[in-house]
Chains A and B, each alone.
Chain A
Amino acid sequence: MQLSDDQIRKYLDVDFTSAAPAAGRMCGAKPRVEPMGKAGIQTYASYLRKTGQKMLSADERSAIIDKYTREGWPQRKLMTYVHDQNGEPSCVSNSKVLCHEILQAQQFGRENVTLLSPISIYRFVGSRSSGSTLTENLRRMQSHGALPLDNERNRKLYKHVHPHNGYGKEMPDGWEETGKLFMDCEYAEIENWDEQQDAVCKGIPIMYARGGHCITGVSLTKSGDGLTLDYGNSWSLDWGNPISEELSGGLGHDSERSARSSAPGSIAVLNVKIPFVTL
């Protein structure tokens, strides 16, 4: 679905620091501590080399943007849920699980996505007020995974589930057994705006941070004000533009200027190996 320029401007280059309290929400992305290339994550460039891929040219990217603007962006069409971190600084963990769910939908179809609990990650990488870094969340996911979100479907399919929020909520006994089903993930560290655009055009969801908040890059739009990187936020459906025909909110936009400055250190979530389950 195409958004008007006015719709995009309303949520363009949002100042998260002031917008969060106004929305009754929080941010929660701490600055990374590792220098670029020192976080133990492959670079996006090395991932492309490993898989025999080339970076798309600017013309190729432009054609893809036009195509997906007509057909709908894959990442947005595959989203099944807009997360809501509510009053907790767990934005990075929310972005982490969203990327997982997009890649699940790619494999199994939207109807077979297992929604995940962000707080089942965040409670191990942050405090009630501290927030967390992108790399801490990646490492936690790879070491322990996450628990399925506590809903009717997941209670029937999995031994352990966990609520969406609630930092103080104890993890269920033996939860590690279920958590490890969601551990297997591959990431790449993005170094610049060209790589970030390349990944988005190839259908890859991106975790990135700006102004102390972490969001998920899911599409690119040519608006009247220039190219924007569109992101899925975790402030519920009541905030932002429609992500798709099914999701009536949750989408924000960063101008090229903003996106360019926040690209270094963003994370491409490349693939996840997760259980296939269905009712």
Chain B
Amino acid sequence: MNDKSFKGGFLVLLVIGGLWIWWAGGITVPGIVSGGPRTVLIVHESNDQTPAFGEMVRDLRTGPHAAYLTSKSHKLLILDDETPGPDGQPSAILAPYRPYAVPELIIAKPDGALIKRQPLPANAGAVIEAIKAQGG
């Protein structure tokens, strides 16, 4: 087999391989989450507050993790699932994400577009890691 034949054959194999991959479902490229400020909602049932939850809230609001949130311009809201708005009706900020599986962590863009939602992690450090994993 001369060099030209080898190259030609290789090219044919490449095309066939590419067509096969395309037919099989394509190549999945991991989603790239662009970084930026986040709106972070922790939705919970206030009547079910546990000591661990209280500690998490304090750490996120006033502990070392609070400084990280501020440095990244993230907005953190820790809301009961029945939080009202100023008109007494269910709060508009929660409406896009109903129904909930409380306690839940919702990470969104500042305009409210959902990036990820998941069960609430066990502690403040894990919440921060979850936010970082979504570009925050």
Contact = CB atoms under 8 A, between A and B. Distances in A.
B62 interface: yes
A158 B86 contact: yes
B57 to A, nearest CB: 6
Chain B interface category by residue count = 20 to 34
B128 interface: no
A23 interface: no
A273 B86 contact: no
A108 B77 contact: yes
Interface in B58-107: 58, 61-64, 75-80, 82-86, 88, 91, 93
B58 A107 contact: no
A202 B50 contact: no
Interface stretch (A14-22, A72-80, A93-101, A257-265): A72-80
B61 A275 contact: no
B83 A275 contact: yes
Contacts of A105: 61
Given A109-B75, A203-B58, A276-B79, A157 B50 contact: no
A74 B47 CA distance: 21
Contacts of B64: 71
B51 to A, nearest CB: 5
A275 B84 contact: yes
Interface in A189-206: 202-203
B125 interface: no
Contacts of A202: 51, 54
Contacts of B84: 181, 273-276
B118 interface: no
B54 A203 contact: yes
A180 interface: yes
Given A180-B88, A181-B84, A53 B61 contact: no
B83 A74 contact: no
A1 interface: no
Nearest to A159: B86
Contact of B86 (A53, A72, A181, A203): A181
Given A276-B83, A276-B85, A276-B91, A74 B58 contact: yes
A271 interface: yes
Contacts of B50: 51-53
A186 B91 CA distance: 20
Contact of B77 (A109, A180, A271): A109
Contacts of A177: 88
B49 interface: yes
Interface of A: 51-53, 71-74, 77-78, 105-109, 157-158, 177, 180-181, 186, 202-203, 271, 273-277
7 contacts: A51-B49, A53-B50, A71-B63, A71-B64, A74-B61, A74-B62, A275-B84
